[in-house]
Amino acid sequence: MSAVASQGLPRRLLVANRGEIAIRVARTARDIGITTVVVYPDLDRASAHVRFGDVAHRLAGTGAYLDAEQLVEVALENGCDAVHPGYGFLSENAAFARRCVAAGIRFVGPRPELIELFGDKARARALATSCGVPVVAGTDAPATLDEAADFLASLGPGGAMIIKAVAGGGGRGMRVVTDVADLPEAYARCRSEAERGFGTDAVYVERYIARARHVEVQVAGDGSEVSHFWERECSLQRRHQKLVEVAPSPSLTGALRERLFDATRRIAAACRYDNVGTFEFLVDVDRPGADDELCFIEANPRIQVEHTVTEEILGVDLVRAQVELAAGRSLAQLSLRQADIPPPRGHAIQLRVNTESLDGTGEARPGSGTITAFAPPGGPGVRVDTYAYVGYRNVALFDSLLAKLVVSSPEPAYAAAVARARRALAEFDIEGVPTNLAFLRSLLDHPDVAANTVTTRFVEEHAAALL
Ligand code: ADP
C-alpha cells in the first residue's frame, strides 16, 4: 500500500454500538464525508441511532452488540473499511479488534496489544510503577484470600481496602472491606461477579482511599508521540460510576496538575500509546504533598462517555481524531501535537441524565416507560447528546444513560459554568419515564458541589438529603 493510500480516511464506517454514542460517531462521520452503517437487533429497532446511518442493518439475536463475528460479517457485507466500537460492548475487546484487522477493516482504537495491556489492571499498575508513577498500595494479581487478609492487616486498625476485578470496568466488580470478618464473603462475591461480568475471576486489592478525588487525563497518540488534552475531574459518582464530569478540574493546584500530566506522559510514552485514551488517577485529599497524593488507577483505551467536556473546553473533535489516527495520520498532520493544543477556555460540566428512580435512601433503580414529553435545554453553552424522543420506550436491558447534558462557559470562574448547569437543568423536561433530573438539580444546588469541595463519596453520603 502506498503511503498516501495508507493515510486515506475510511470511506464507510460500521458503528458497532447503539444509543447516544452511536449517534455521536455517525455525526462526526457525516461531518467529514464518511458514510456510516448503523446496526440494531430487533428489540432495539426504536433507538434513534437507527435513523442516523446511511444504512441501517438489522442484527440477529438479542446479544448482537457483543457478537464480534456477526459484526465483522455485516461490515464486510456492507463494504465498510472501518469499525468504530464506541464505549462498552466490544470497545475493549482485543480479539474483536484483531478480527477486524484480519478482515482488512480498520479498528478505530488503539492497537490490540494496548487494549490487552490496559484490560488487565494489574499489568497497567505494573507499567505505571515501572515508569516511576505511584499506584495505590496494593497486591499483585491474582490475590488469594490469604494475601488479601494479610494486606488488610498490614493497614492497621481502622484500615480499609477495596477488592477489584483485574478485568473490571463501569464501576462493577469492586467491594470495600474494613472488617476482616466480612472479607471471605466479599472476596467470594467479587470473584464470582468478576467471572460473570468479565470472564475472569482474578482480583487484586488496594488500600481504600477514604477521601479521594477522581482526576483523569485525555490523551491522543500516534504510536511515536503523545499529546494530552488536559484533565477532567469526575469525583461526583454513585457506586463508583460517574454522574457529573468537569473539565478542567476546578480544584487542582498548578503543581499537582503538572505531576498529573507528567505521570500520564510517562506511561503513555512508555507503551507508545496510539489513538485516543484516558489515564485515570485518584488524589488522596488527606495526603497533601505526599509522594502518593496522586496515584494511577487505570487507563481506558477507548472514547469515554465524558469526552464531551474536553471537546467543549478545547474546541476539538475527539471522535474525528480517533478516525484520523486510525487511518495512520500523525499528530503533526492533524495539528494535535502538544504545542498545538490550546489552554482550556473556561469550564465545561457534563450531567448524566439516567432513566432511573430513586428510593427514600437515594438508591437508584433502573426505570422504564414511554417518553411522553422531551424538551431539552438550549441557548448559549448548552449541548445535549441523546437518543431520546417522544414515543420512545427505553429498553431496560441496556445502559440507563438517556442524555448527556453538557454545559460550558468561557468565563474563568467555575461558578459561571455551575450557574449555566442549573439554568439548563431547570429548562430540561422529560415525562413518561423516571429520570434523575430532580436529583441532579439538588446536587448542583449544593454549596459543596458549586465549590467543588467534594470527594468520590459525596453522592452516597448526601443522597438521602438531596432527594
Ligand atoms: P472502573 O474501571 O470500574 O471504572 P476504576 O478502577 O476506574 O474502575 O475505579 C472507579 C472508581 O472506584 C474510582 O473513580 C473511585 O471512585 C473508586 N476507586 C477505585 N479504586 C479505589 C481506591 N483504591 N480507593 C478509593 N476509591 C477507589
Per residue in 251-299, pLDDT (tens digit) is 999 999 999 999 999 999 999 999 999 999 999 999 999 999 999 999 9
The residue whose C-alpha atom lies closest to atom 15 belonging to ligand 1 is 240
**444-460 tens-digit pLDDT:** 999 999 999 999 999 99
Closest atom of ligand 1 to 165 CA is 3
What is the pLDDT, as a whole number, of residue 254? 93
357-386 per-position pLDDT tens digit? 988 777 889 999 999 999 999 999 999 999
Secondary structure class of 426 (helix, strand, coil): helix
Ligand 1 atom nearest the C-alpha of 138 is 23
- Whole-complex ipTM: 0.98
Establish whether 393 is a catalytic residue. no
* 163 Cα to the center of ligand 1, angstroms: 10
Q: Is 80 in the pocket of ligand 1 (CB under 6 A)?
A: no
Query: Which pLDDT score, from 0 to 100, does residue 2 have?
Result: 40
What are the helix (H) ranges across 242-301?
254-270
Q: How many CA atoms lie within 13 A of 411 on its CB side?
A: 12
Ligand 1 in contact with 452 (CB < 6 A)? no
Distance (Å, whole) CA 260 – CA 255: 9
Extract the C-alpha cell encoding 38.
448503523
Question: How much is the pLDDT for 71?
Answer: 98
How far apart (Å, rounded) are the C-alpha atoms in residues 219 and 199?
28
- How far is 426 from 286, CA to CA, in rounded Å? 35
What does the alpha-carbon distance between residue 276 and residue 61 come to, in Å, rounded to a whole number?
A: 31
Half-sphere exposure of 121 (CA within 13 A, CB side): 32
**Sequence-separated (6 or more) residues with CB below 8 Å from residue 42:** 58, 62
Backbone angles phi, psi at 39, to 5 degrees: -130, 155
From the CB of 209, is ligand 1 less than 6 Å away?
yes
Best of 242, 282, 296 for a ligand 1 pocket test (most atoms within 8 Å of beta carbon)? 282
CA distances from 311 to 13, 268, 390, 404, 406 (A): 22, 20, 28, 14, 10
Q: How confident is the model at residue 171 (pLDDT cuts 50, 70, 90)?
A: confident
Quote the pLDDT of residue 140: 85
Q: Which amino acid is at 53?
A: G
Helices within 16-144 (DSSP H only): 19-31, 68-77, 94-102, 112-119, 121-130
* Best CA proximity match to 349, nearest among 424, 431, 273, 400: 424
Band the pLDDT of 7: cuts 50, 70, 90. Answer: low
**Please, which residues have CB within 8 angstroms of residue 314's CB and are 6 or more apart in sequence?**
229, 230, 341, 342, 344, 345
* pLDDT for residue 87 is more than 60: yes
Query: Cell for 52?
Result: 442516523
Number of CB atoms found within 10 A of residue 331's CB: 22
- Catalytic-role residue among 99, 213, 302, 420: 302
Position 342 pLDDT exceeds 60: yes
Position 4 scores a pLDDT of: 39
- Please indicate whether residue 208, judged by its CB atom, sits closer than 6 Å to ligand 1: yes
367 lines ligand 1 (CB under 6 A): no
pTM (two decimals): 0.97
Quick: pLDDT tens for 290-302: 999 999 999 999 9
Question: Is the CB of residue 85 less than 8 Å from the CB of residue 71?
Answer: no
Q: Is 301 in the pocket of ligand 1 (CB under 6 A)?
A: no
Nearest CA among 361, 366, 405 for reference residue 383: 405
Report d(CA 12, CA 323) in Å as an integer: 11
Is the pLDDT at 356 greater than 60? The verdict is yes
pLDDT tens string 23-60: 999 999 999 999 999 999 999 999 999 999 999 999 99
